[in-house]
Structure 1
Amino acid sequence: MNFKKTLVALAAVATFSSAASAETLSVAATPVPHAEILEFVKPQLAEQGVELDVKVFTDYIQPNIQVDQKRMDANFFQHQPYLDEFNDGRGTSLVTVTGVHVEPFGAYSSKIDSLDELKDGAVVAIPNDPTNGGRALLLLQKAGLITLKDESKITATPRDIADNPKDLDFKELEAATLPRILGQVDVALINTNYALEAGLNPSEDALVIEGSESPYVNILVARPDNKDSEAMQKLANALKSDAVKDFIMEKYEGAVVPAF
């Protein structure tokens, strides 16, 4: 028997056995910061026998559909109000596994340096989905630009505005497109993940931004049938680790805030 060949064969068998025993967990995520955070925890999960397969999406619809239809195991891109609205509107039953971070929502402009400079009739772009559109209006209300009929309604739309002293002209557009049309409007209310992708620095460029008290914690989402699986819980624990907290604070410098 060739001893060297035997060792090589045994090593190959061990490698194959290790790979075969690893459980793959597929997670849909938007690019920044969600996919970046998932990529950061990949090595930690690999050591625990979980191979993390991250698929990047640039919209807010497909990640939930993919998980609901069991094409993906989980997703990481949304907050609870959005998930609640999606489940209600689509008849899905997706569930929260754990909260991870907050992305303070902000207002941006390439035409003015302060909301005080906003002229009467200015065009303001907000997301067209109910939860993020309502979030934008609540932030503008907090800034003193409008008053809503129900001052705490998280799914408010422009039709719910009671007082609009500057007669602002609201345009409701898909959230992902808002950074691209920033030069075509006076102000755009942009989700932080899209702001970061567009090279905007929320802590420096936003004219007004949510505080740390924001209720919009971004969550890891799965289905009722797999939310308690061993692999999913390993991912949840990894996302709430001190290493991830340090990574978020150092990399995003306040544009993303740990929620644990």
Structure 2
Amino acid sequence: MKKFLSLIGAAAISLSLVACGGGAEEPQTEETPGEEAAQEENVKLVVGASAVPHTEVLEFAAPLLAERGIDLEIKTFTDYILPNQALNEGELDANYFQTPGYLAMQIEEFGYEFESIGPIHAEPIGVYSKEFSSLDELPDGAKIIMSDSFSDHGRILPIFERAGVIELDVEEGQLAQRENIVSNPKNLDFSTLVEARLLAPSFESGEGDAVVINTNYALEGGVDIESYGIAFEGQDVLQPNLIIVRSEDVDRPEIHTLFEVLRSEEVVNFILETYDGAVIPWSE
């Protein structure tokens, strides 16, 4: 950063000397290359992200990255499919929205050659209800609406198991699916699956007895997390949201600078102050 600022300062001083030299003289051409070199210090980095909190975090980080020679361009996506497609096709340098479980399923399905640079934050998936205040209160046959992303089911179903309302036949940490439910005394109905981005609208329109919503979509949809959240993932099983790149780009220094800035104290404090526990900075 000091080197970059000193180059900018040198260019500014050169311009001021030319301006003071007399109106009849043309600016000295030898100063122009130095100015252009200073301006060319910054490297452009295009990152795809979900709207909330990822884009907001990146927007906060953009000035910090500029100080370190990186001009950040953010492309915001409203679903979970397109950011990986765009990264694979070279439209992005990196993306920031997904967990290890989702990444693994995407790689298995599409054969992406992606690598994780590292974790930035975690977002506990939550169960929300306008009528009931706990999973124990859910009535027999209660309708549960959840994401159609099967990687999310491995995070959602253990919430219900830990509350004692269902039992699974998989070990904790394994990717549970609905067919792994071996005990369901309340006959909870997990059959309604919708796109993750539609979960908050489903909740707001009063569909289902409970809706399981990814935190980013709860925030984006204006769901009152504190008032309506009745159960959440345990912090000991949270999956982080990652910075993902194509395997060929894993050693690019500007990508690692992005990671360093997103894990910096400034960004950590921004996350803590902005999302009040709904988004948790990752620590290792």
2:236 alignment partner in structure 1: 213
CA contact (8 A) 2:102 2:152 kept: yes
Superposition CA RMSD, Å: 2.2
Tell me how far 1:212 sits from its aligned partner: 2.2
CA contact (8 A) 2:127 2:212 kept: yes
Tell me how far 1:224 sits from its aligned partner: 1.2
* Compared CA separation, residues 229 and 3, structure 1 to 2 (3 A): farther
TM-score normalised by length of structure 2: 0.85
Tell me how far 1:14 sits from its aligned partner: 6.2
Task: Please say if 1:172 is aligned against 2:193.
Answer: yes
Distance 2:22 2:71 in 1: 33
1:144 alignment partner in structure 2: 164
2:97 aligns to what SS in structure 1?
A: strand
2:59 alignment partner in structure 1: 39
User: In structure 2, what residue type is equivalent to 1:152?
Assistant: E
Q: After superposition, what is the alpha-carbon deviation per residue over 1:18-44, rounded to whole angstroms, capped at 9, x for unaligned?
A: 443321100000011111111111011
Deviates more, 1:88-97 or 1:209-218: 209-218
Which one of the candidate residues 202, 218, 238 is aligned to 2:261? 238
CA contact (8 A) 2:155 2:233 kept: no
Where does 1:59-74 land on structure 2 (aligned, <5 Å)?
59-74=79-94
TM-score normalised by length of structure 1: 0.92
* Compared CA separation, residues 161 and 231, structure 1 to 2 (3 A): same
CA contact (8 A) 2:135 2:160 kept: no
CA contact (8 A) 1:76 1:220 kept: yes
Distance 2:49 2:275 in 1: 17
CA contact (8 A) 2:132 2:138 kept: yes
Q: How many residues align?
A: 260
* Compared CA separation, residues 96 and 9, structure 1 to 2 (3 A): same
CA contact (8 A) 2:146 2:212 kept: yes
Gaps of 5+ in 2: 1-17
Task: Please say if 1:106 is aligned against 2:126.
Answer: yes
2:235 aligns to what SS in structure 1?
A: coil
Tell me how far 1:10 sits from its aligned partner: 8.9
User: In structure 2, what residue type is equivalent to 1:172?
Assistant: L
Structure ID, larger Rg = 2
1:150 aligns to what SS in structure 2?
A: coil
Q: After superposition, what is the alpha-carbon deviation per residue over 1:130-151, rounded to whole angstroms, capped at 9, x for unaligned?
A: 2112211111111111111214
CA contact (8 A) 2:136 2:163 kept: no
User: In structure 1, what residue type is equivalent to 2:243?
Assistant: L
1:124 alignment partner in structure 2: 144
Gaps of 5+ in 1: none
CA contact (8 A) 1:220 1:236 kept: yes
Distance 1:246 1:159 in 2: 41
Q: After superposition, what is the alpha-carbon deviation per residue over 1:120-164, rounded to whole angstroms, capped at 9, x for unaligned?
A: 111101111121122111111111111112142643222221111
1:252 alignment partner in structure 2: 275
